């Protein structure tokens, strides 16, 4: 075990997969000589060379389309979108080509798309989005969102080795703020939920940076609250979600994404559909309002779910 930041864990995971499998290569804007916009790919060019660390034009559709072709040819490309928001330019290649290739032709597309997502750093409306729900709605794509350094490394290994296209959501706010013990060996993390904090009174469901928000909020309460880190959004670990709700009988679902049709809506629908008789209160959701993320730091903090709002929501549901 070694203590690593979230960013270092992702970088280590990339390096180890590239060392162990010559089919793995990295491509994206400034991933080579510059080392990536956030320095995740720093040092890879020197170790693996320009054939496996490819700087691309500013053309996300071209990046994803080229990667799909490479995956079909037997390689395992890892694409980096400089900011997750920019993936919209490659949406057609991801949703209509990569996601449907197996259904149409029975072909594997072992493609990983790394998306630096989320707010909290005053990046404004074009650099702070959480686009996971777009891809949850598209058949054929897997979507994962690690919250810890260990899971970031493990889920990246799982994504790269998967025969399906995987959207890998890495939260920018966690890059250098979160540290933890990470296994030296590249051990794939299963695409299942984990219990981040066990409890009996209420279940909070979250993923990515919201897991840490939930844990901070719960630590300031006297209630015995369970925090479930979803880790994977597609596939969604339905049994783990239902087991937690059936134990606590109350559920709060957190999203940093805009509320309408967010990942949490799917979790809430699942609970209402299959655990209704186990509930002692309504399924509550807490998410960002349906507005672009403001550039102004005070306005950004006003719209993003923070610990104060999470504590208020938990107290209200506990008192129901």
Q: pLDDT at residue 258 above 90?
A: yes
212 neighbors 164 (Cβ within 8 angstroms): no
Q: pLDDT at residue 242 above 90?
A: yes
Annotated catalytic residue: which of 102, 127, 171, 173? Answer: 127
Confidence of residue 121 (pLDDT cuts 50, 70, 90): confident
Reported pTM: 0.96
Q: How many domains does the chain have?
A: 2
- 159 in the same domain as 77: yes
Mean pLDDT of 299-316: 95
- 217 in the same domain as 95: no
Q: How far is CA 109 from CA 47, 77, 99, 142, 266, in A?
A: 26, 10, 8, 12, 26
R_g of the chain, CA atoms, integer Å: 19
- Return d(Cα 85, Cα 129) in angstroms, integer: 6
- 41 in the same domain as 151: yes
pLDDT averaged over every residue in the chain: 96
- 162 in the same domain as 262: no
Mean pLDDT of 155-166: 98
Known catalytic residue at 212: no
What pLDDT is stored for residue 312 in this prediction? 97
What pLDDT is stored for residue 187 in this prediction? 87
- Return d(Cα 34, Cα 79) in angstroms, integer: 15
- Return d(Cα 145, Cα 140) in angstroms, integer: 17
Q: pLDDT at residue 1 above 90?
A: no
Q: Is the dihedral of CA 192, 127, 306, 131 positive or negative?
A: negative
List the domain range (segments joined by +) for residue 286.
Answer: 194-318
Mean pLDDT of 264-271: 98
Q: How far is CA 132 from CA 85, 208, 275, 279, in A?
A: 10, 11, 25, 28
- 68 in the same domain as 32: yes
Q: pLDDT at residue 273 above 80?
A: yes
Domain's final residue, options 161, 182, 203? 182
Domain's final residue, options 123, 149, 182? 182
Q: Dump pLDDT digits (tens) for 175-219.
A: 999 999 999 887 899 999 999 999 999 999 999 999 999 999 999
Q: Dump pLDDT digits (tens) for 59-117.
A: 999 999 999 999 999 999 999 999 999 999 999 999 999 999 999 999 999 999 999 99
63 neighbors 79 (Cβ within 8 angstroms): yes
- 253 in the same domain as 287: yes
- 112 in the same domain as 47: yes
Domain assignment present for residue 189? The answer is: no
């Amino acid at each position: 075990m070694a203590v690593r930041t979230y960013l270092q864990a992702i970088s280590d995971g990339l390096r180890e997969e590239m060392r162990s499998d010559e089919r793995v290569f990295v491509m994206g804007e400034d991933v080579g000589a510059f080392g990536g916009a956030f320095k995740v790919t720093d040092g890879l060019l020197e170790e693996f060379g320009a054939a496996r660390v490819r700087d691309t034009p500013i053309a996300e559709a071209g990046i994803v389309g080229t990667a799909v072709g490479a995956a079909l040819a037997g390689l395992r490309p890892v694409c980096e979108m400089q900011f997750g928001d920019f993936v919209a330019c490659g949406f057609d290649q991801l949703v209509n080509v990569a996601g449907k290739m197996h259904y149409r032709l029975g072909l594997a597309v072992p493609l990983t798309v790394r998306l630096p997502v989320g707010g909290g750093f005053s990046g404004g409306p074009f650099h702070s989005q959480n686009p996971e729900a777009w891809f949850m709605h598209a058949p054929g794509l897997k979507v994962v969102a690690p919250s810890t350094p260990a899971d970031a490394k493990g889920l990246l290994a799982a994504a790269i080795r998967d025969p399906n296209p995987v959207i890998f959501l890495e939260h920018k706010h966690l890059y250098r703020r979160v540290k933890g013990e990470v296994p030296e060996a590249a051990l794939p993390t299963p695409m299942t939920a984990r219990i981040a904090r066990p409890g009996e009174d209420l279940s909070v469901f979250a993923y990515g940076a919201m897991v840490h928000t939930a844990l901070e909020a719960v630590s300031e309460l006297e209630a015995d609250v369970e925090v479930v880190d979803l880790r994977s959004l597609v596939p969604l670990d339905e049994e783990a979600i239902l087991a937690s709700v059936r134990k606590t009988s109350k559920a709060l679902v957190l999203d940093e994404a805009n509320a309408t049709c967010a990942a949490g809506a799917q979790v809430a629908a699942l609970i209402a559909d299959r655990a209704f008789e186990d509930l002692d209160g309504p399924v509550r959701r807490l998410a960002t309002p349906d507005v672009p993320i403001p550039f102004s730091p005070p306005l950004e903090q006003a719209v993003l779910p923070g610990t104060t709002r999470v504590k208020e929501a938990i107290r209200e549901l506990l008192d129901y």
